[in-house]
């Protein structure tokens, strides 16, 4: 078989040979891209220990917890109407016939609504914008009308059931998920101490009661020494005000990192061990495709030329 394949490389028509070489080039590039992509994700997940939200450091972290809605309206998938914390969908139309038959995407979208992750020690907000979502629930069904009038449980499920194909992926609410991304804690502090002091002194500067209270020589004006006493009193008042205020709760957020950080956000319904196993299979499989396709490409070119 090896000798026959080598003979084909030598004697094949130029067009057929070019087609095969082009296909091998695409497979080589795809295998290399897949190996690098899946290996990167594998290293990140393997090298990032699972943290607890309550004590997590700032930066790239990994959490495992329960996904749920934030206060407010529930998130609902647009095609099935099922409640979820994240969705992605597309509607395809079958066009042409015979060898020219193809499917064209006529509508698509994905959720960018924030949701909540709770790991038992605390909760954080997940911003799914730009996330890689691994193993969501998936439904595919067909219909004869662009207007959605049947769900995935209908008889149209499967290939060839209609001109239109509906594809929807979801992460259900109250589902255990793994989330890896850039973690930050934000706190709304209001005005700083210096800003509060400046604002208070601005009010007191022209307050007749303050002038009367601190005017030592009773000439209706505050001397430099008088103003120093006013500043000291204002500082005490600001410190008391800030001490009496309730400290606002910290808001934890995990999202895709900005420039200069790990620009990656992973949301997976698989556990860490399952995700690592899946990524190893994909990385090794892509590497095998790269090696085989590259070897065949070099063999073909060498045999031909």
Query: What sign results for the dihedral spanned by CA atoms 133, 139, 144, 148?
Result: negative
Place of tokens 């600001």: 238
Residue 147 confidence (pLDDT):
67
Residue 74: in which H helix or E strand, if any?
none
Q: pLDDT digit string (tens) for 118-151?
A: 999 999 999 999 999 999 999 999 888 776 655 6
**For all residues of the chain together, what is the average pLDDT?**
85
Lowest mean pLDDT among 15-24, 57-66, 155-164, 174-183: 155-164
Please tell me the pTM assigned to this model: 0.71
Q: pLDDT digit string (tens) for 76-123?
A: 999 999 999 999 999 999 888 777 888 899 999 999 899 999 999 999
Residue 290 confidence (pLDDT):
93
Residue 233 pLDDT > 90: no
Residue 243 confidence (pLDDT):
73
Exposure string over 262-296, b if 16+ CB within 10 A, otherwise e: bebbbbbbbebeebeebbeebbeebbebbeebbeb
Q: How many CB atoms lie within 10 A of CB 146?
A: 12
- Do the bridges between strand 132-134 and strand 266-268 make them parallel or antiparallel, or are there none, so unpaired? parallel
DSSP letters of 116-176?
EEE-SS-EEEE--TT-EEES-EEEEEEESSSS----TTSTT-STTS-SEEEEEEEE-TTEE
Residue 156 pLDDT > 50: no
Distance of CA 245 to the CA centre of its chain: 35
Give me the helix-helix angle, 272-304 and 14-47, nearest 10°. 150
Q: Model confidence at 210, in pLDDT bands (50, 70, 90)?
A: confident
CA distance 247 to 90: 45
Residues of the chain above pLDDT 70, percent: 88
Give me the helix-helix angle, 272-304 and 2-11, nearest 10°. 60
Backbone angles phi, psi at 172, to 5 degrees: -65, 155
């Amino acid at each position: 078989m090896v000798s026959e394949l080598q003979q084909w490389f030598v004697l094949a028509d130029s067009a057929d040979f070019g087609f095969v070489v082009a296909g091998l080039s695409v497979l080589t590039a795809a295998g290399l891209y897949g190996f690098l992509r899946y290996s990167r994700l594998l290293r990140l997940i393997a090298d990032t220990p699972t943290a607890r939200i309550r004590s997590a450091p700032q930066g790239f972290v990994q959490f495992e917890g329960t996904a749920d809605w934030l206060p407010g309206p529930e998130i609902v998938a647009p095609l099935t109407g099922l409640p979820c914390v994240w969705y992605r969908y597309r509607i395809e139309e079958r066009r042409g016939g015979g060898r020219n038959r193809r499917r064209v995407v006529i509508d698509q979208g994905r959720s960018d609504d924030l949701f909540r992750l709770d790991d038992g020690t605390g909760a954080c907000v997940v911003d799914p914008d730009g996330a890689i979502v691994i193993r969501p629930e998936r439904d595919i069904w067909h219909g004869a009308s662009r207007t959605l009038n049947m769900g995935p449980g209908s008889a149209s499920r499967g290939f060839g059931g209609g001109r239109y194909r509906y594809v929807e992926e979801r992460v259900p609410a109250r589902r255990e998920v793994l989330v890896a991304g850039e973690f930050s804690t934000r706190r709304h502090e209001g005005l700083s101490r210096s800003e509060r002091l400046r604002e208070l002194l601005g009010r007191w500067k022209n307050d007749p009661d303050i002038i009367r209270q601190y005017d030592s020589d009773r000439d209706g004006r505050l001397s430099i020494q008088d103003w120093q006493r006013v500043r000291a009193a204002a500082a005490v008042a600001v410190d008391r005000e800030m001490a009496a205020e309730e400290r606002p709760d910290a808001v934890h957020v995990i999202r895709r990192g900005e420039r200069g950080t790990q620009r990656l956000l992973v949301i997976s319904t698989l556990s860490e061990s399952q995700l690592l196993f899946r990524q190893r299979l994909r990385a090794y499989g892509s590497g095998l495709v790269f090696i085989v396709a590259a070897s065949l490409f070099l063999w073909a070119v060498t045999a031909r030329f």
